Structures are given as structure tokens and as C-alpha cells.
């Protein structure tokens, strides 16, 4: 995927293994950007799974993160899971200091 989309990476396309995000700075350019990606997929005979596709969204999950216009965020559920973890103890049974 990196080689296939090399000229588009970090401009209109982000990819990791076989996951793709097509992004556009302006809404009116999005169809053009999608068309370029679809043409490239067709050229290399790659297929997409329709049940895993979402089009025209302004935010979504990608690789376990939430991607929005303002940046990349961690899901609140993951933050909560870390906060609920019990404190570790050292081998001398004294509690490890944690920042407040």
C-alpha cells in the first residue's frame, strides 16, 4: 500500500497495512481525491470491503484512535481503563508514586 499510494501519502491518503483514509482539505475536493484513490485501487486490482467503508464523514476511528478535523484523539474508554488499573507495587511492597 505504501508503494501504491506513495505520491498521495500524508497529502490526501493515510494508510497502515491495508487500512486507508482519504482526506481532503476542502469538501469540494473530496470526490476528486476519492476518484484518484479508486483509480489507483482499480489499477492494482485491489478491492475494498463495503461493510468497512465510510464516506463523507468528518471524523472516525482509525487504528484505534479517533481522527477529527482538529487532530487525533484517544477514545475515552481507553483512558478510563488506564485510570482504573490498580497501582503497581515494587518488590519491597512499597507503592509506586503516581502523579496527581
Sequence ranges of the domains in the chain: 1-55, 56-86
DSSP bridge pairs for 68: 71
- Given phi > 0 = left and psi -120 to 50 = alpha, else beta, which region is 74? beta
Strands (E), 1-100: 13-16, 19-22, 60-62, 65-68, 71-74
> What pLDDT does 84 receive?
92
Q: Which three cell numbers stand for residue 20?
A: 486507508
Task: Please list the pLDDT of the chain residue by residue as tens digits (100 residues).
Answer: 888 999 999 898 988 888 888 988 888 999 999 999 999 999 999 999 999 888 877 777 777 778 777 777 888 888 898 899 988 776 665 565 656 5
**d(C-alpha 56, C-alpha 22), whole Å:** 10
> What pLDDT does 46 receive?
94
pTM score, whole prediction: 0.63
Residue (of 60, 61, 53) closest to 34 by Cα position? 53
Amino acid at each position: 500500500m505504501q508503494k501504491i499510494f506513495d505520491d498521495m501519502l500524508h497529502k490526501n491518503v493515510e494508510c497502515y497495512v491495508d487500512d486507508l483514509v482519504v482526506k481532503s482539505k476542502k469538501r469540494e475536493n473530496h470526490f476528486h481525491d476519492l476518484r484518484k484513490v479508486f483509480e489507483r485501487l482499480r489499477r492494482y486490482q485491489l478491492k475494498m470491503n463495503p461493510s468497512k467503508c465510510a464516506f463523507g464523514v468528518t471524523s472516525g476511528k482509525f487504528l484505534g484512535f479517533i481522527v477529527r478535523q482538529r487532530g487525533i484523539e484517544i477514545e475515552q474508554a481507553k483512558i478510563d481503563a488506564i485510570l482504573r488499573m490498580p497501582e503497581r507495587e515494587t518488590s519491597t511492597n512499597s507503592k509506586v508514586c503516581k502523579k496527581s
